[in-house]
Amino acid sequence: MKLASLGLPGLTSTLSSEGIVLCTGRFRYRIRSSAATIAPALAIAYADFELGSSSDWFDFDIRIEPSAGPRALLKPEVGLAVDGASPFEPLPADQAFALLEWGMNWCVTSTAHDAVNCHSAVLERHGNALLLPAPPGSGKSTLTAALAMTGWRLMSDEISRIDLDGASVECICRPVSLKNASIGLIGERFPEAVFTPPIRDTVKGTVAHLRPPGDAVRDTRGATPAWVVIPQFAAGAPVEMTPITDAELVAELAGNCFNLSGVGEPAFRALCHLADRAKGYRLRFGSLDDALLAINRLSEQ
Amino acid sequence: MARRLPLLHRVLSQPDSARDLDGADWSRLVRQARTNGLLGQVLNLLAECRNLDTAPDAVKRLLSAERHLADHRKRALLWEADELRRTLAPLGVEPVLIKGGAYIAEGMPHAHFRHFGDIDVLVPPEVLAAVEKRLLTAGWAMSNRDPYDQYYYRTWMHELPPLRHIKRGTHLDLHHTITPRTSRYATYPEKLFAQARQATSHASLSVLSTEDQFLHGAAHLFSEGEAGNALRDLFDLRALLRHIDDLAVLRDRAEELRLQSPLALALRHIERNFPDPSVSKLADAAGRWAHGAQRLDVLYDRVFVIGCERAETGNPSLGKATEFVLNCRGHWLRMPVALLARHLTRKALKQLFSREPSTETVRN
């Protein structure tokens, strides 16, 4: 059953009772919430996602509820709980959906040490995976959204899950998190793009989530790592795609890795295996068109 | 008398009888284990008796994730402990590993999967100042420079304020005894050092005798003010107990160290939370050396199931009242009333003027 088939009233009431079980690749999240903004945002961003049953196996149990306590009287806040523990400080109530998304990322990065989890987007074309590892502010999500809207299959925006033999990357497709000017940029360029309502004044500025386009949700196959492109947006800069050595590639991925100390030595070996297969590049760009062109040219070589 | 124990307790007591778990049971078990910091331990026990074969693939992957974590953590801990030994060698001081680090150095199977955030070591009180000086010149720094906290730790506690390595970020708790000086469980550090020995699996590292490890664990657990790790710590004690052949030796040692009361509580609650029909000597011993331990059943019967209840409901604020009582008991045991009043007033005033976040702020 797809999430959209619940309808907004059905989704709202299910969320505040037994909750839904959202399936994203191999991870199943049970989500319960009575926070007002959660249901409408889920209905937009996750419309095409399959639902599981809360009386069967699920990986994480998430609750997002309005905080009690004296501070809540002054300013409404929401708190996130995962498996009955609170890993984060509460946030203002209107940031509930952003908190949920960050919490879902945290679930994977803090527990799933069966594979290497890097801070990187993953897209696929013809069975080949493109990894875009980068710290926040590098233009990674903007590029990811644009590629996903132009024929690449979105496999993940925030986390690349690399198997320990370095030979495949998992599909854990979820919405793309866009920030600030990128929201308008992608919205204008792709009128068919569907976004959750923007949330202002988060730690990352304004945030909106893009519904994964096309086949992304239906096709959950993994892919073979073929290219690792380290993007760096620089306003006004000419586009520049520079090959890097295997050692640099491993160091870059390791630097963007969430669980190097969770997986330990096998993680380092996995990244070395990946470097044997994939080619690494540094991409400096000042315009989205140039960057897309450069990446597409890479994939056609 | 018979309480209905949570699934986690039942599986930990008798993993071989945990057959035919369905999807919902696995969900429940993993959640309860995660909240209590016992995921690796419980999955490994199930794998050993082949009861993990029928689990969902996701659960099997969780075990391999826990194995990776554990292998890396163990390697890092042993490296750090050895480094510490080398740093202190010129002083002629052999640091004694305590708590989680000791269990790892002893090669105890249950400890392999134990999560821990810092290294705890014990050095004789008379060399404490020299050890501190040596560590400060070897890259360790005080992670808390608040003057009152420094005063509080140095005057009343059994350890220095936590140290942190400036390059590696490792946390180190340097102890000179195992319980606060003013505690009702205060004991004699010289007696502990007299029986310290080489660790079973890593002979270059020192640990307390198995009995003393148990008594330290018990004194720590039953004067602790928080419930978060209570069940895990109790499970540690149960595993340690299996390495103690003669309970009478343990009892005599408890008398010598004046730790009879935590011993009685530990035996009683191991029995109440991990009942094992094949082991009746424990129930007998717990009954005979009760020391009034049963008076605290009301409190501790709740403490050891709070984590599971939070996991069950997804509600982290459950059991706050129990934790409040536990916290009061912890403080009450730690210091005499007049001193406690002074300390709590200071803390309250300080908190009023500076609010520090207690948990992580969202990033990534």
Chain B residues in contact with A32 (beta carbon < 8 A): 314
- Residue B149 has a pLDDT of 82
CB B176 within 8 A of CB B122: yes
- Residue B293 has a pLDDT of 81
CB contact under 8 A, A57 and B313: no
Residue A158: is it exposed, middle or buried by C-beta count within 10 angstroms (0-12/13-18/19+)? buried
Note the pLDDT tens digit of each residue in A255-281. 999 999 899 999 999 999 999 999 999
Note whether B134 and B185 are same-domain residues: yes
**Chain B: closest CA distance from residue A254 (Å):** 16
Q: What average pLDDT does this structure show over B84-109?
A: 94
Note whether B111 and B197 are same-domain residues: yes
- A295-299, B189-193, B277-281: which has the minimum mean pLDDT? B277-281
Is the CB of residue A291 less than 8 Å away from at least one CB of chain B? no
Question: Does residue B151 surpass a pLDDT of 90?
Answer: no
pTM of the model: 0.90
Note whether B13 and B120 are same-domain residues: no
Note the pLDDT tens digit of each residue in B5-56. 999 999 999 999 888 899 999 999 999 999 999 999 999 999 999 999 999 9
CB contact under 8 A, A84 and B31: yes
Residue B39 lies inside a defined structural domain of this protein: yes
Confidence of residue B353 (pLDDT cuts 50, 70, 90): low
CB contact under 8 A, B72 and A119: no
Note whether B85 and B195 are same-domain residues: yes
Question: Does residue B204 surpass a pLDDT of 80?
Answer: yes
Query: CA-nearest residue of chain B to A69?
Result: B317
Confidence of residue B143 (pLDDT cuts 50, 70, 90): confident
**Chain A: closest CA distance from residue B79 (Å):** 14
Q: Which token pair is B178?
A: 């195992």
**Chain A: closest CA distance from residue B218 (Å):** 25
Which among A258-272, B270-284, B345-359 has the top mean pLDDT?
Answer: A258-272
Is the CB of residue A125 less than 8 Å away from at least one CB of chain B? no
Note whether B43 and B81 are same-domain residues: no
From B208, B239, B271, give the residue that closes a domain: B208
**Chain A: closest CA distance from residue B178 (Å):** 29
Residue B14 lies inside a defined structural domain of this protein: yes
| Domain residue limits at B29 | 1-55
Block residue for tokens 């390059």: B167
Note the pLDDT tens digit of each residue in A70-114. 777 788 999 999 999 999 999 999 999 999 999 999 999 999 999
Tell me the percentage of chain B whose pLDDT exceeds 90. Answer: 61
**Chain A: closest CA distance from residue B15 (Å):** 20
Q: Cα separations (Å) of A288 from A151, A182, A298?
A: 15, 10, 15
Note whether B51 and B167 are same-domain residues: no
CB < 8 Å from B in window 100-119 of A: 102, 105-106, 109, 111-114, 119
Residue B304 lies inside a defined structural domain of this protein: no
Q: Which of B29, B68, B231, B232 is most worth mutating to test chain A (most A CB atoms within 10 A of its CB)?
A: B68
- Structure ipTM: 0.90
Note the pLDDT tens digit of each residue in A188-210. 999 999 999 999 999 999 999 99
Note whether B38 and B127 are same-domain residues: no
Q: What average pLDDT does this structure show over B186-190?
A: 90
Instruction: Check residues B255 and B290 and name the one with the higher pLDDT.
Output: B255
Note the pLDDT tens digit of each residue in B226-250. 888 999 999 999 999 989 988 889 9
Question: Does residue B100 surpass a pLDDT of 60?
Answer: yes
Residue B136 lies inside a defined structural domain of this protein: yes
Note whether B31 and B100 are same-domain residues: no
- Indicate the residue of A83, A91, A265 with minimum beta-carbon distance to B31: A83
CB contact under 8 A, A57 and B316: no
Note whether B83 and B180 are same-domain residues: yes
Question: Position B269: which residue type?
Answer: H
- Residue B280 has a pLDDT of 59
Note whether B107 and B46 are same-domain residues: no
From B208, B231, B266, give the residue that closes a domain: B208
A229, containing H or E segment: strand A224-233
With a CB cutoff of 8 Å and minimum separation 6, the contacts of B231 are B8, B9, B36, B38, B273, B304, B305, B307, B308
Instruction: Report the CATH number that the domain containing residue B200 is assigned in CATH.
Output: 3.30.460
Residue B279: how many other CB atoms lie within 10 Å? 16
Residue B176 lies inside a defined structural domain of this protein: yes
Instruction: Check residues A126 and B337 and name the one with the higher pLDDT.
Output: A126
Note whether B85 and B42 are same-domain residues: no
Note whether B83 and B181 are same-domain residues: yes
Number of domains in chain B: 2
From B165, B183, B208, give the residue that closes a domain: B208
Residue B132 lies inside a defined structural domain of this protein: yes
Chain B residues in contact with A23 (beta carbon < 8 A): none
- Residue B337 has a pLDDT of 73
Is the CB of residue B351 less than 8 Å away from at least one CB of chain A? no
Q: Cα separations (Å) of B300 from A57, B183, B215, B272?
A: 31, 20, 18, 10
Helix and strand tally (H, E) in chain A? 10, 16
Chain B residues in contact with A59 (beta carbon < 8 A): 58
Residue B204 lies inside a defined structural domain of this protein: yes
Residue B248 lies inside a defined structural domain of this protein: no
